[in-house]
């Protein structure tokens, strides 16, 4: 079993899209759960959705959580407090950029890497070039 990934976003469509891309890159070898949007389908975060995603992704190898914006961190931290200590033991909240981090994490997890290695790979998303653009002064 591979390290799993949870995507927390203010947008359900964004969370699903990032998960779709990461799943493609990991060739379906990694469990990726999403918590996007509020319970009524609007933009925001849902404590219940985050808890459900964390429980769905829970496994002995660990879970890496990737987030989009600030309050997603707060809601995820609140969700972790709601879990039993045994459930939150192997969960890392990543500071990696959402898309790049999710892709890199999924690829690393699909290779059978440890939670620490998957988290480190996601963090490398900070360094991924997005192309070089020349700007005039």
Please give the domain boundaries of the chain with CATH numbers for all domains.
4-126 (3.40.50.510)
Q: Any alpha helices (H) in 32-114, and if so which ranges? A: 47-57, 70-82, 85-88, 98-110
Indicate the average pLDDT of the chain.
94
Query: For residue 62, what pLDDT is reported?
Result: 97
Question: pLDDT-derived band of residue 82, with 50, 70 and 90 as boundaries?
Answer: very high
Question: pLDDT-derived band of residue 115, with 50, 70 and 90 as boundaries?
Answer: very high
Residue 109, classified by CB atoms within 10 Å of its CB into exposed (0-12), middle (13-18) or buried (19+), is buried
Average pLDDT over residues 53-70: 95
Query: For residue 137, what pLDDT is reported?
Result: 66
Average pLDDT over residues 91-95: 97
Coil, helix or strand at residue 43: coil
Query: For residue 13, what pLDDT is reported?
Result: 97
Distance between CA atoms of residues 31 and 5, nearest Å: 6
Catalytic positions:
10
């Amino acid at each position: 079993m591979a390290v799993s990934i949870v995507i927390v976003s203010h947008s359900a469509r964004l969370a699903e899209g990032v998960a779709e891309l990461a799943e493609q890159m990991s060739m379906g070898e990694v469990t990726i759960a999403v918590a996007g949007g509020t319970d009524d389908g609007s933009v925001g975060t849902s404590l219940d959705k985050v808890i459900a995603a964390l429980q769905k992704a829970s496994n002995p190898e660990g879970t890496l959580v990737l987030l989009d914006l600030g309050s997603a961190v707060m809601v995820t931290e609140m969700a972790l407090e709601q879990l039993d200590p045994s459930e939150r033991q192997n969960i890392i909240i990543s500071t990696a950029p959402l898309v790049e981090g999710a892709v890199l994490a999924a690829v690393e997890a699909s290779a059978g890497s440890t939670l620490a290695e998957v988290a480190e790979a996601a963090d490398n998303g900070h360094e991924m070039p997005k192309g070089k653009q020349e700007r005039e002064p």
